[in-house]
């Protein structure tokens, strides 16, 4: 059985730690085992990153960027292999894996602009013959911790920009589907990332807690569920690190009576059921304004769901693959049962689905609830499965109140033809990423990604301009050279400009 090890100081290391099975979610068969790094193993990775830091810090940004240009090419050349690794361990359909990889590559492209992005600010003559400038220096060793649902894109949100800024890095991918992340890191080394600059430790909470406590780690980027994000944020900041911790979500779409309902229904299908609903930007609640809107929309969604094909991710005709684990399938099924018990109307029931040839897989058909009410468990909690809830209200304001009252604030969208309503909605809604007739408003790589409320702990979002600020610290230098006739005597008052 293949053992998935760690990448430490440029070498693959395995056979020294506890191990865990890697399971193909489409068959529930064990396909590999992954090493779970002990404290000692993580400390070795941190030591390798710390040793590589001084030289990498002083490597010109242009040279660092050229390595990332080569990485972009290698990612494109090896796209089929990367996506096959991803689908085998995660289960998502290959076309979706390609989309994920492409969005990850866009983050590498943005990081290739490091020389420009790291340019400082300069002011001449802030005082007589005094010049001042601000520059953006790397932090040192940074760490990234990623969830299972985007095993390729999320590591690419983090380490390319972190190392482009001159930091060294330790990545801890999800222990459920780590192979693609490890392979991409190896491609980084092939592209020219020096040994020790990028390290990967596989593992569970022991590895994470070691990273959070170690004083050599200066900053931690985390993406995962909200309870773990909160733990990472509180522990990491308690040990005086810079931390950004992105958490879970419950994303609502408002459908107004004037919306193009055909368009809204097709858009919602992909947003709710794509990747089996295992996306932090998935739409899991539709708030329909008016019963006529709700009735028409539910009818159209039912028709689309009847044509949705659930199956193995390698089958090109599949729209939706399996859920990540058997335990997660059971958890999602429990929520569906609770929704029925709490009185919501289960219009489409995807429970009990079997896929011929993959009878043991973690398959669940698309589920659609109507008449969901605030306070029901299926509305309060993130389900992270192919379950779409429809709520009915009488006005846009009522819909906005439901969204604003929710604990999560990642994404939202509105379907309407009314520009004034859309503008009011995007201006006032308490959510970090807003779509107008766009169901998955994931910002482009040159913007930044971040939710509000319990979807993000920390001050800066992921990737884009925020990530340049996250992975650097500002230094401001004020300079005067004696000469030019400016000589002053001793001054005891605070320097000020007259």
Cite the active site residues: 280
The Cα–Cα gap between 244 and 458 comes to: 5
Map the footprint of ligand NAD across residues 404-433, applying CB under 6 A: 410
Map the footprint of ligand NAD across residues 442-461, applying CB under 6 A: 451, 455
Q: Which stretch binds ligand NAD (CB under 6 A): 30-38, 79-87, 221-229, 481-489?
A: 221-229
H-assigned helices in 58-197: 61-77, 79-90, 94-111, 114-117, 153-164, 179-191
Residue from 8, 75, 139, 145 touching ligand NAD (CB under 6 A): that is 145
The Cα–Cα gap between 353 and 337 comes to: 15
Q: Which residue is nearest to ligand NAD (CB)?
A: 224
Q: Which stretch binds ligand NAD (CB under 6 A): 53-61, 101-109, 241-249, 258-266?
A: 241-249
Q: Which stretch binds ligand NAD (CB under 6 A): 120-128, 246-254, 304-312, 463-471?
A: 246-254
Nearer to ligand NAD, 136 or 471 (CB): 471
3-state percent helix, strand, coil for the chain, nearest multiple of 5: 40, 25, 35
The Cα–Cα gap between 7 and 169 comes to: 11
The Cα–Cα gap between 90 and 278 comes to: 10
H-assigned helices in 370-414: 377-380, 396-405
Interaction of residue 370 with ligand NAD, rule CB under 6 A? no
In total, the chain counts a number of residues equal to 498
Interaction of residue 204 with ligand NAD, rule CB under 6 A? yes
Min. distance of Cβ 263 from ligand NAD in angstroms?
26
Min. distance of Cβ 229 from ligand NAD in angstroms?
7
- What does the DSSP 8-state code read for residue 255? E
Nearer to ligand NAD, 228 or 332 (CB): 228
Min. distance of Cβ 425 from ligand NAD in angstroms?
21
DSSP letter string, 306-369: HT--B--TTSTT-SB---S-HHHHHHHHHHHHHHHHTT-EEEE--TT---TT-TTS-----EEE
Q: Which stretch binds ligand NAD (CB under 6 A): 41-49, 120-128, 245-253, 266-274?
A: 245-253
- Residue 97 Cα distances to 76, 130, 307, 372, 469, angstroms: 13, 54, 22, 32, 29
Map the footprint of ligand NAD across residues 274-313, applying CB under 6 A: 280
Map the footprint of ligand NAD across residues 147-166, applying CB under 6 A: 147-150
Interaction of residue 225 with ligand NAD, rule CB under 6 A? yes
- What does the DSSP 8-state code read for residue 494? P
Interaction of residue 252 with ligand NAD, rule CB under 6 A? no
First to last CA, the chain: 75
Nearer to ligand NAD, 4 or 346 (CB): 4
Residue from 249, 251, 275, 448 touching ligand NAD (CB under 6 A): that is 249
User: How many residues touch ligand NAD (CB under 6 A)?
Assistant: 27
Q: Which stretch binds ligand NAD (CB under 6 A): 49-57, 136-144, 219-227, 291-299?
A: 219-227
CB 279 within 8 A of CB 290: no
- What does the DSSP 8-state code read for residue 442? P
* Closest to 218 (Cα-Cα) out of 464, 39, 50, 468: 50
Nearer to ligand NAD, 280 or 355 (CB): 280
φ, ψ of residue 80 in degrees (nearest 5): -65, -40
Interaction of residue 248 with ligand NAD, rule CB under 6 A? yes
- Residues lying near ligand NAD in the complex (CB under 6 A) are found at 145-150, 172, 174-175, 204-205, 208, 223-225, 228, 231, 246-249, 280, 382, 384, 410, 451, 455
């Amino acid at each position: 059985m293949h053992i998935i090890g760690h990448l430490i100081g440029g070498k693959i290391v395995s056979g020294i730690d506890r191990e865990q099975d890697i399971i193909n979610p489409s068959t529930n068969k064990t396909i590999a085992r992954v090493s779970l790094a002990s404290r000692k193993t993580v400390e070795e990775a941190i030591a390798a990153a710390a040793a590589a830091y001084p030289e990498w810090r002083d490597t010109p940004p242009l040279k660092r960027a050229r390595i990332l240009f080569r990485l972009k090419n290698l990612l494109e050349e090896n796209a089929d292999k990367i996506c096959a690794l991803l689908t085998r361990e995660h289960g998502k359909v290959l076309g979706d894996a390609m989309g994920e990889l492409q969005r990850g590559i866009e983050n590498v492209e943005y990081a290739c602009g490091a020389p420009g992005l790291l340019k400082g600010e300069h002011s001449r003559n802030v005082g007589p013959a005094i010049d001042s400038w601000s520059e953006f220096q790397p932090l040192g060793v940074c760490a990234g911790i990623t969830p299972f649902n985007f095993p390729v894109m999320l590591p690419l949100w983090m380490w390319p920009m972190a190392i482009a800024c001159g930091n060294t890095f330790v990545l801890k991918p999800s222990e459920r589907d780590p192979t693609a992340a490890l392979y991409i890191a190896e491609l980084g080394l092939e592209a020219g990332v020096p040994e020790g600059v990028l390290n990967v430790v596989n593992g569970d909470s022991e590895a994470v807690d070691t990273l959070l406590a170690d004083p050599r780690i200066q900053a931690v980027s985390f993406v995962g569920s909200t309870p773990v994000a909160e733990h990472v944020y509180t522990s990491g900041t308690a040990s005086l690190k810079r931390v950004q911790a992105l958490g879970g979500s419950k994303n609502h779409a408002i459908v107004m009576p004037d919306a193009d309902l055909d368009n809204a229904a097709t858009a919602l299908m992909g947003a709710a059921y794509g990747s089996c609903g295992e996306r932090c930007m998935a739409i899991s609640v539709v708030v329909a304004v008016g019963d006529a809107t709700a009735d028409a929309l539910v009818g159209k969604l039912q028709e689309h769901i009847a044509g949705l094909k659930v199956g193995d991710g390698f089958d090109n005709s599949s729209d939706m693959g399996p859920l990540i684990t058997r335990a997660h399938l059971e958890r999602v099924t429990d929520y569906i049962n609770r929704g029925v018990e709490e009185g919501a109307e289960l219009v489409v029931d995807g429970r009990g689905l079997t896929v011929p040839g993959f009878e043991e897989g973690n398959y669940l058909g698309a589920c659609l609830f109507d008449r969901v009410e605030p306070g029901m468990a299926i509305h309060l909690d993130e389900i992270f499965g192919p379950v779409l809830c429809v709520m009915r209200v009488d006005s846009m304001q009522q819909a906005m109140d439901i969204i604003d009252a929710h604990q999560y604030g990642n994404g939202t969208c509105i379907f309407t033809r009314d520009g004034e309503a859309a503008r009011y909605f995007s201006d006032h809604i308490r959510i970090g990423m807003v779509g107008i007739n766009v169901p998955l408003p994931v910002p482009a790589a040159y913007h930044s990604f971040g939710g509000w409320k319990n979807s993000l702990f920390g001050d800066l979002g992921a990737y884009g301009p925020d990530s340049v600020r996250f992975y650097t610290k500002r230094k401001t230098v004020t300079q005067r050279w004696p000469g030019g006739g400016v000589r002053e005597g001793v001054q005891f008052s605070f320097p000020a400009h007259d």
